[in-house]
């Protein structure tokens, strides 16, 4: 039987990794919630955010400058992707758009391979110092940053969506595009904004996890998939759900690795996803996964 | 009509030119294929291998080429493909090299998994192949793997050195973690055997994925088994993450790793956490500290100097490619491009002083190395040094 200290360590490790998944899952939710598109290039936004931050920091920029620059840059890339690749396909079937996002992810990964090469890069932690000890569990300082950023982003999104005019417009588009348009909301702009925001969020996630995971051109695929699972677990359309899904997945993986066998760790995410989909189809869930297309 | 004749003549011109050109003699190039993991998870190994192969190609051609058994200098032509660390792509690349590029021999691949994947194809086509990957299974049993050779030390050799070292230090309760693909799995199979032979007890056995971002759960599990030493068998970046996690968790037992961390990138990524890590590896990393009478010293220093002048810090993987290319080139000097003769020439190579070790190939040993090819290496202040 594992002791309390070990259990605490599994949960702590799982929460940090879960925070990473949650941040990435949020990017999926924002694009899906508004546009009903699953953006499989989300993981590549994370990768670009991480690599841009590393490169800018290597040029001597302080992190307080490097991170915002990377976030804005990748946000602009998200907007450009929407304008160039997604908008022309507005009337195309969802599957076509999905395939385009997969294509975009392969292209971004290839581009990163050319620019940064294949080696992984290290980034110094945001704050130096030995790891913290909480209830016998060790948490690296960067892990606290991950959790704090996830919390801040969640709070920020909650505020914008609930309290601001722009947030209301986004919610209106998410509920019914046609009605929103009739009410004078510029749906195109909302879509563009959603993509830019998800790019920026992905980059932020990348920058904050890079000191833990290192940054490399092929980091986006696995992280993107795990973030996607987190988003689906949370119902795909709710930011709170994605956050909860991310933490749930991270802790579950960590517990599986610690208590059962580390060989099954990766299988956990995908087994949970399949089980969840079956349960959802059977209609046993207390919450709703949005699948219907609006507009 | 005139147009037709003109077309025929035009079509014939290159053919005629070729025919007379061949008569007037540039000796035909010696074509050697190479498959490396230039992208994908194995890229930190595959890139220096490719760089080394290109460096050797330029070096050979600067001297006019390979002097064949016909006494003439043949330019060396390397045809290099990237298998992206993927088994399927490695097989496709091997087929292309054999069927389309018609190479005399194949150097590579980088990883154990990809090498094992192409063994059947290469054997069936009867093309000599010199792998740069570690697993002993690639060349064993030699009687069946007639066409396959390899230059890195076999897992058994490396792991044996590690087990002896642990035993000598009195560290008999050992916790083990390996990355969950061919390199780590085969390392574990060998370690289990070597540990038994050396009288070590393995108190924990954990795995992690090569793209995992956190191994603290596995390390916590290892800690509960109270080992006297912990061994992590992987390559960067996962090996570096495990090292950092190990330091963050404050684990006290000495940390040992595999020869998979024999590049500076590992130290860069793991930072100060890498200090104190001990691992078995070839002599290249500590070439300057070798005894003056070490047979490899001269070769090692020359390669380290050439490689570092062009590409940056040395690593053992480039050395594996150096050995493989040199081995093939040496055999070509005796046997030309006839694949069967070339194979026999490789197999009869003795006392070949390479980067990885001194090779003595034979019909029963297609690796040709012994225990002298491994030294225990320690990381101190971000540098390699001979472990005491």
Q: Are B209 and B226 in contact (CB under 8 A)?
A: no
Residue A284: what are its φ and ψ, rounded to 5°? -95, 0
- Tens digits of per-residue pLDDT, B157-202? 999 999 999 999 999 999 999 998 778 988 999 999 999 999 999 9
Mention every residue, 6+ apart, whose C-beta is less than 8 A from residue A50. A123, A206, A207, A209, A210, A213, A215, A219
Q: Are B34 and B82 in contact (CB under 8 A)?
A: no
- Judged by CB atoms closer than 8 Å, whether chains meet at B248 and A140 is answered as yes
Mention every residue, 6+ apart, whose C-beta is less than 8 A from residue B213. A17, A20, A209, A212, A213, A223, B241
Identify which of B209, B216, B236 has the shortest CB distance to residue A265: B209
In a domain, A125, yes or no: yes
Residues of A within 8 A of B221 (CB-CB) are 2, 6, 257-258, 262
Which of B306, B318, B297 has its CA nearest to residue B372? B297
Token pair 């790019």 is at which residue?
A199
Q: Are A17 and B214 in contact (CB under 8 A)?
A: yes
Which of B153, B342, B145, B175 has its CA nearest to residue B253? B175
- Judged by CB atoms closer than 8 Å, whether chains meet at A262 and B249 is answered as no
Q: Are B119 and B148 in contact (CB under 8 A)?
A: yes
How high is the pLDDT of residue A90? 83
Mention every residue, 6+ apart, whose C-beta is less than 8 A from residue B260. B183, B233, B234, B235, B236, B239
**ipTM for this prediction:** 0.79
Which of A251, A209, A16, A35 has its CA nearest to residue A122? A209
Q: Per-residue confidence at B23, pLDDT binned at 50, 70, 90?
A: very low
How high is the pLDDT of residue A294? 40
Query: Domain residues for A30?
Result: 23-220
How high is the pLDDT of residue B194? 94
Q: Per-residue confidence at B44, pLDDT binned at 50, 70, 90?
A: confident
Residues of A within 8 A of B214 (CB-CB) are 13, 16-17, 212-213, 254
How high is the pLDDT of residue B79? 96
* Cβ neighbours around B226 below 10 Å, total: 11
Q: How far is CA A128 from the centre of its chain?
A: 25
How high is the pLDDT of residue B3? 61
Query: What tokens were used for B61?
Result: 């051609």
Scanning every residue of chain B, which has its alpha carbon at the shortest distance from the alpha carbon of A255? B217
Q: Which residue in A2, A23, A119 has the most chain B C-beta atoms within 10 A of its own C-beta, making it the best mutation to test that interface? A: A119
- Cα angle vertex A174, ends A156, A95, to 5°? 115
CB contact A99 to B (< 8 Å): no
The C-alpha atoms of residue B32 and residue B371 are separated, in whole angstroms, by 30
Taken in order B323, B329, B334, B338, the sign of the CA dihedral is positive
Return residue ranges of chain B for CATH 3.40.50.2300: 30-153+296-373, 156-281
Q: Per-residue confidence at B211, pLDDT binned at 50, 70, 90?
A: confident
In a domain, A232, yes or no: no
What's the total number of domains in chain A? 1
Q: First and final CA of chain B: distance in angstroms? A: 86
- Tens digits of per-residue pLDDT, B251-275? 999 999 998 888 888 999 999 999 9
The C-alpha atoms of residue B147 and residue B123 are separated, in whole angstroms, by 6
Query: What tokens were used for B147?
Result: 């066409």
The residue with greater pLDDT, B101 or B11, is B101
Average pLDDT, chain B: 90
Scanning every residue of chain A, which has its alpha carbon at the shortest distance from the alpha carbon of B236? A120
How high is the pLDDT of residue B299? 95
Scanning every residue of chain B, which has its alpha carbon at the shortest distance from the alpha carbon of A140? B248
- Judged by CB atoms closer than 8 Å, whether chains meet at B39 and A258 is answered as no
- Judged by CB atoms closer than 8 Å, whether chains meet at B209 and A20 is answered as no
Identify which of A10, A214, A219 has the shortest CB distance to residue B217: A10
Q: What is the pTM of this model?
A: 0.78
- Give me the mean pLDDT over the B24-29 stretch: 76
Q: What is the largest CA-CA distance in chain B?
A: 92
The C-alpha atoms of residue A100 and residue B273 are separated, in whole angstroms, by 42
Query: What tokens were used for B324?
Result: 């493989």
Token pair 């045809």 is at which residue?
B79
Reduced to 3 DSSP states, what percent helix, strand and coil does chain B have, rounded to the nearest 5?
Answer: 50, 20, 35
Identify which of A138, A140, A262 has the shortest CB distance to residue B207: A262
Q: From residue A181, give the alpha-carbon distance in Å to each of A175, A186, B238.
A: 11, 6, 49
pLDDT above 70 covers a percentage of chain B that reads: 94
Task: Judge if the upstream peptide bond of residue B237 is cis by omega within 30 degrees of 0.
Answer: yes
- Judged by CB atoms closer than 8 Å, whether chains meet at B237 and A216 is answered as yes
Tell me the CB-side half-sphere exposure of residue A219, using CA atoms within 13 A.
36
Residues of B within 8 A of A257 (CB-CB) are 206, 208, 217-218, 221
The C-alpha atoms of residue B242 and residue B257 are separated, in whole angstroms, by 10
Scanning every residue of chain B, which has its alpha carbon at the shortest distance from the alpha carbon of A1? B224
How high is the pLDDT of residue B119? 95
* Cβ neighbours around A30 below 10 Å, total: 31
Q: Are A24 and A202 in contact (CB under 8 A)?
A: yes
In a domain, A39, yes or no: yes
Scanning every residue of chain A, which has its alpha carbon at the shortest distance from the alpha carbon of B267? A122
Would you say how long chain A is, in residues?
295
In a domain, A11, yes or no: no
Token pair 């759900």 is at which residue?
A241
Is the pLDDT score of B16 beyond 50?
Answer: no
Q: What is the CATH number of domain B30-153+296-373?
A: 3.40.50.2300
Q: From residue A122, give the alpha-carbon distance in Å to each of B55, B201, B202, B238, B344.
A: 28, 35, 32, 12, 46
In a domain, A277, yes or no: no
Scanning every residue of chain A, which has its alpha carbon at the shortest distance from the alpha carbon of B271? A122
- Judged by CB atoms closer than 8 Å, whether chains meet at B224 and A10 is answered as no
Identify which of B209, B224, B249 has the shortest CB distance to residue A266: B209
CB contact B180 to A (< 8 Å): yes
- Judged by CB atoms closer than 8 Å, whether chains meet at B221 and A262 is answered as yes
In a domain, A4, yes or no: no
Mention every residue, 6+ apart, whose C-beta is less than 8 A from residue A22. A150, A230, A242, A243, A244, A245, A246, A247, A250
Q: Are B386 and B161 in contact (CB under 8 A)?
A: no
From B82's Cα to the closest Cα of chain A, the distance in A is 12
CB burial of B236-269 (b: ≥16 within 10 Å; e: otherwise) equals bbbbbbbbbbbbbbebebbbbbbbbbbbbbbbbb
Query: What tokens were used for B323?
Result: 């050995």
Q: Are A265 and A253 in contact (CB under 8 A)?
A: yes
Q: Are A37 and A86 in contact (CB under 8 A)?
A: yes
The C-alpha atoms of residue A102 and residue A98 are separated, in whole angstroms, by 6
Is the pLDDT score of B22 beyond 50?
Answer: no
Interface subset of A 39-78, CB within 8 angstroms of B: none
- Give me the mean pLDDT over the B310-331 stretch: 93
CB contact A94 to B (< 8 Å): no
Interface A-B: count of C-beta contacts within 8 A:
103
The C-alpha atoms of residue B118 and residue B116 are separated, in whole angstroms, by 6
- Tens digits of per-residue pLDDT, B53-90? 999 999 999 999 999 998 899 999 999 999 998 999 99
How high is the pLDDT of residue A265? 75
3-state secondary structure of A154: helix
The residue with greater pLDDT, A261 or B141, is B141
The residue with greater pLDDT, B24 or A252, is A252
Superfamily of domain covering B156-281: Response regulator (3.40.50.2300)
Q: Which residue in A118, A221, A222, A253 has the most chain B C-beta atoms within 10 A of its own C-beta, making it the best mutation to test that interface? A: A118
DSSP-derived secondary structure for B296-321: THHHHHHHHHHHHHHTSS--HHHHHH
Identify which of A118, A219, A223 has the shortest CB distance to residue B47: A118
From A4's Cα to the closest Cα of chain B, the distance in A is 11
In a domain, A144, yes or no: yes
The C-alpha atoms of residue A262 and residue A259 are separated, in whole angstroms, by 8
Mention every residue, 6+ apart, whose C-beta is less than 8 A from residue B58. none
Residues of B within 8 A of A255 (CB-CB) are 217
From B349's Cα to the closest Cα of chain A, the distance in A is 35
Mention every residue, 6+ apart, whose C-beta is less than 8 A from residue A13. A137, A254, B214, B216, B217, B220
- Cα angle vertex A282, ends A278, A287, to 5°? 90
Please give chain A's pLDDT, 295 residues, in tens.
Answer: 467 778 888 999 899 999 999 999 999 999 998 888 899 999 999 999 999 999 999 999 999 999 999 999 999 999 999 999 999 988 888 889 999 999 999 999 999 988 998 788 999 889 888 888 888 788 889 999 999 999 999 899 889 888 888 888 888 888 888 898 898 888 889 999 999 999 999 999 999 999 988 999 989 998 999 999 999 988 888 888 999 999 999 999 998 888 887 777 778 888 888 888 888 777 666 665 555 444 3
């Amino acid at each position: 039987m594992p002791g309390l200290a070990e259990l605490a360590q599994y949960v702590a490790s799982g929460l940090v990794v879960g925070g990473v998944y949650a941040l990435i899952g949020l990017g999926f939710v924002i694009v899906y919630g508004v546009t009903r598109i699953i953006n499989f290039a989300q993981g590549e936004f994370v990768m670009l955010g991480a690599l841009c931050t590393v490169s800018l920091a290597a040029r001597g920029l302080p992190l307080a400058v490097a991170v915002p620059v990377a976030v804005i840059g990748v946000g602009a890339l998200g907007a450009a992707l929407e304008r160039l690749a997604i908008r022309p396909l507005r009337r195309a079937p969802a599957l076509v758009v999905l395939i385009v996002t997969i294509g975009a992810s392969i292209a971004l990964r290839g581009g990163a391979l050319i620019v940064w090469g294949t080696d992984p890069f290290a980034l110094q932690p945001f704050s130096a110092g030995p790891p913290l000890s909480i209830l016998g569990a060790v948490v690296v300082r960067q892990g606290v940053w991950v959790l704090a950023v996830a919390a801040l982003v969640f709070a920020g999104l909650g505020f914008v969506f609930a309290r601001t005019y722009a947030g209301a417009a986004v919610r209106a588009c998410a509920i019914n595009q046609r009605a929103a348009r009739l009410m004078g909301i510029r749906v195109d702009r909302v879509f563009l904004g959603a993509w830019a925001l998800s790019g920026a969020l992905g980059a932020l996630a990348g920058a904050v996890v890079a000191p833990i995971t290192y940054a490399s051109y092929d980091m986006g695929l696995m992280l993107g998939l795990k973030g996607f699972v987190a988003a689906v677990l949370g119902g795909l359309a709710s930011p709170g759900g994605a956050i909860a899904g991310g933490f749930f997945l991270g802790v579950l993986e960590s517990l599986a690795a610690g208590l059962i066998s580390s060989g099954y760790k990766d299988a956990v995410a995908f087994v949970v996803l399949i089980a969840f989909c079956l349960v959802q189809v059977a209609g046993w869930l207390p919450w709703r996964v949005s699948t219907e297309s609006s507009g | 009509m005139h147009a037709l004749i003109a077309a025929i003549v035009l079509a014939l011109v290159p053919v005629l030119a070729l025919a007379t050109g061949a008569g007037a003699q540039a000796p035909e190039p010696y074509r050697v294929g190479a498959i490396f993991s230039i992208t994908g998870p194995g890229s930190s190994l595959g890139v220096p291998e490719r760089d080394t192969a290109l460096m050797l190609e330029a070096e050979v051609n600067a001297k006019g080429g390979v002097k064949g058994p016909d006494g003439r200098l043949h330019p060396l032509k390397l045809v290099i493909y990237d298998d992206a660390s993927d088994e399927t792509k490695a097989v496709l690349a091997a087929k292309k090299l054999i069927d389309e590029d018609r190479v005399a021999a194949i150097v590579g691949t980088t990883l154990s998994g990809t090498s094992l994947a192409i063994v059947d194809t290469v054997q069936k086509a009867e093309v000599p192949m010199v792998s740069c990957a570690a697993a002993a299974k690639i060349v064993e049993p030699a009687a069946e793997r007639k066409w396959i050779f390899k230059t890195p030390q076999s897992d058994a050799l490396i792991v044996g050195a590690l087990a002896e070292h642990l035993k000598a230090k009195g560290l008999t309760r050992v916790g083990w973690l390996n990355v969950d693909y061919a390199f780590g799995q085969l390392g574990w199979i060998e370690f289990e055997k070597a540990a038994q032979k050396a009288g070590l007890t393995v108190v924990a056995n954990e795995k992690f994925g090569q793209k995992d971002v956190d191994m603290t759960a596995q390390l916590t599990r290892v800690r509960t088994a109270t080992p006297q030493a912990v061994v992590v068998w992987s390559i960067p970046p996962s090996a570096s993450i495990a090292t950092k996690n190990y330091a963050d968790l404050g684990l006290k037992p000495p940390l040992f790793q595999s020869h998979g961390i024999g590049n500076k990138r590992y130290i860069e990524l793991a930072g100060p956490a890498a200090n104190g890590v001990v691992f078995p590896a070839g002599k290249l990393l500590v070439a300057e500290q070798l005894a003056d009478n070490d047979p490899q010293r001269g070769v090692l220093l020359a390669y380290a100097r050439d490689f570092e002048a062009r590409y940056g810090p040395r690593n053992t993987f480039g050395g594996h490619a150096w050995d493989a290319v040199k081995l093939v080139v040496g055999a070509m000097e005796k046997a030309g491009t006839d694949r069967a003769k070339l194979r026999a020439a490789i197999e009869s190579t003795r006392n070949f002083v390479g980067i990885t070790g001194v090779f003595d190939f034979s019909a029963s040993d297609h690796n040709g190395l012994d225990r002298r090819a491994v030294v225990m290496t320690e990381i101190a202040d971000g540098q390699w040094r001979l472990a005491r």
